[in-house]
Structure 1
């Protein structure tokens, strides 16, 4: 039987992923504090602490914490989150108590595809190397590929609309098929990821450097079939791989390039997880946790009261 224990967890950042983590970690029974640069985060479910993310500041706010989970991200200036995460890691190394660290990646298969997504490659390499060298810190990179919650309308999720590269435009009910649409991707809800993190933090089992979480593996074509079957008003359009490559080469804006580089993920295979690793982690860490597929998630959204976060 897997041993577990409740701990005190600091969550860095107050964005949308953080909201799911707070809810599920508190529900699991962990004590949670939220770290933010602001003095008042409006977080009512747990304690809030202010930090400037320097080592000294982090050492103070983590003094009575057992683990640090980060949701800090900035796609426009990758040097900022990299430096913050290196500082977080150093604070954990110097801390007397906080020796568990989950950095903010919530990402694709960066173990086998460390160069994907391309705009993250250098930052990932630097952080992952430091994590490997920090043998006194328990850490893991959470690989969850695409968050499935984008299948919901905006009022049923904390995640904001991101437009492309997620293929669903809810306003026009248009689904973009990338290339042939046969590329396999993994998909999982943020809430199921948050529940998994709560379980992972409680386990006394040794962690792997990368943890794979998936609710379902399917193609873009499969996903469109599921969506359009439930609502025939959805239509599809095709975006060829050549258009994606030309978008990168044209380099018209940082957002345009970032979007196209995200689209490359499914072509490269980085959005598809090895099934043996997904199953091994389920058996090792999450034998009692249900990772829902797309149909189950849509059923949950349909059954929820209007406007409720699923």
Structure 2
């Protein structure tokens, strides 16, 4: 059944979701934008200019919409997502996917601290009963393993290992399990969710590959035929770095130090299986060993 989908924050991962919806072709797509977005308009996407500080403006923006997918990143008390929720209720939107797209927020609701706006909105959604929602968790983006400049819409982010440079700065032992998922596969999974008529679970897990830092190093060395320059940072050192960063009052230093502790802690980067095993039936998720082989094999 064709639906009207609105995306809030169509940058980075949001653009991958745009691609997936357009490629699927069943649904009408609307992008909510603070300004004009000629690039998307040229692709046939309806762009609606909105003011995220105004519920009235957002209500007009989501008129006729069935599902809202949010990628909003807030760094201050702007309440953009809460305003978007109130607009969704006013416009009788049926479903809402808030801005998550990372860790298992069922277990790690308070991390990282920079994303306090997400924790706040999770609680807000839990206390309401006017709109159906699901919290999507997908681990780290597997795209970060690609060479610099080839990650399409995603930035060149350092995730402690560079197969391109044959280096790894491993947090902790390197054996802790972690989930990596291609952004393109997340797009396919989101389209699957949109089409699914069953009630959404509170938590939805999109799992591409379960691996570890040490396995990534092993795969990289096997495929490239070269030994990596590898160093390990003990969890105790990372925790000391975090305490020093927190005491400094520098918010970004604290954030990156907190990320280091998280990456070294068992379980934080892993995801459970979905309670409903039928979720995402028919989707073939990219496997990390396959990606490394295709990208880096000589």
Q: TM-score, normalised by structure 2?
A: 0.89
Q: Is the 8 A contact 2:168 2:229 kept in 1?
A: yes
Which residue of structure 2 aligns with residue 198 of structure 1? 191
- TM-score of the two chains, using structure 1 as the length reference: 0.86
1:219-298 to 2 correspondences below 5 Å = 219-231=212-224, 232=226, 234-251=228-245, 252=248, 253-266=250-263, 267-274=265-272, 277-278=273-274, 280-281=275-276, 283-298=277-292
Q: Name 1:38's counterpart in structure 2.
A: 35
- Aligned partner of 1:117 among 112, 115, 134: 112
The alpha carbon displacement at 1:228 in A equals 2.2
CA distance in 2, matches of 1:25, 1:302: 30
Is it true that 1:58 corresponds to 2:58 in the alignment? yes
**Structure 1 residue corresponding to 2:204, chosen from 208, 211, 224:** 211
Number of residue pairs aligned between Structure 1 and Structure 2 = 287
Partner of 1:156, secondary structure, is coil
Cα gap change, 1:183 to 1:302, in 2 (>3 Å): closer
1:15-66 CA-to-partner distances (Å, cap 9, x unmatched) read 1111101100111122211111112342132121111112111111111211
- Compared CA separation, residues 132 and 125, structure 1 to 2 (3 A): same
Among 12, 23, 33, the residue aligned to 1:16:
12
1:6 Cα deviation (Å)? 2.7
- 1:299 positional shift: 4.6
Provide the secondary structure at the position in 1 that maps to 2:239: helix
RMSD over aligned CA atoms reads 2.0
Aligned to 2:24: 28
Instruction: Sort the Cα spacing of 1:50 and 1:8 in 2 relative to 1 into closer, same or farther, 3 A.
Output: same
Q: Is the 8 A contact 1:185 1:219 kept in 2?
A: yes
1:184 aligned to 2:183?
Answer: no
Q: Which runs of 5+ in 2 are unaligned?
A: none
Contact 1:228-1:234 within 8 A present in 2 as well: yes
SS at match of 1:155: coil
In 2, distance between residues paired with 1:286 and 1:187? 16
Rounded Cα–Cα distance in structure 1 between residues aligned with 2:37 and 2:110: 38
Provide the C-alpha distance between the structure 1 equivalents of 2:286 and 2:163, rounded to a whole number of angstroms.
Answer: 22
For 1:175 and 1:119, the matched residues in 2 are separated by 25
| C-alpha separation in 1, matches of 2:112 and 2:70 | 19
1:226 CA drift (Å) = 1.1
Aligned to 2:89: 93
Deviation at 1:202, TM superposition (A): 1.2
Worse-superposed segment, 182-191 or 256-265: 256-265
**Cα drift, residue 78 of structure 1:** 4.7
Q: Unaligned 5+ residue runs, structure 1? A: 304-310
Shift of 1:100: 1.1
Report the 3-state secondary structure (helix = DSSP H, G, I; strand = E; otherwise coil) of the residue aligned with 1:42.
helix
In 1, are the aligned partners of 2:135 and 2:204 still within 8 Å (CA)? yes
- Contact 2:262 2:268 (8 Å CA) reproduced: yes
Give 1:26-175 correspondences, 5 Å limit.
26-29=22-25, 30-43=27-40, 44-45=42-43, 46-53=45-52, 54-74=54-74, 77-80=75-78, 83-96=79-92, 98-120=93-115, 122-157=116-151, 158-163=153-158, 166-169=159-162, 172-175=165-168
Shift of 1:129: 1.8
Distance 1:184 1:171 in 2: 22
Paired with 2:296 and 2:35, the residues of 1 have a C-alpha distance of: 36
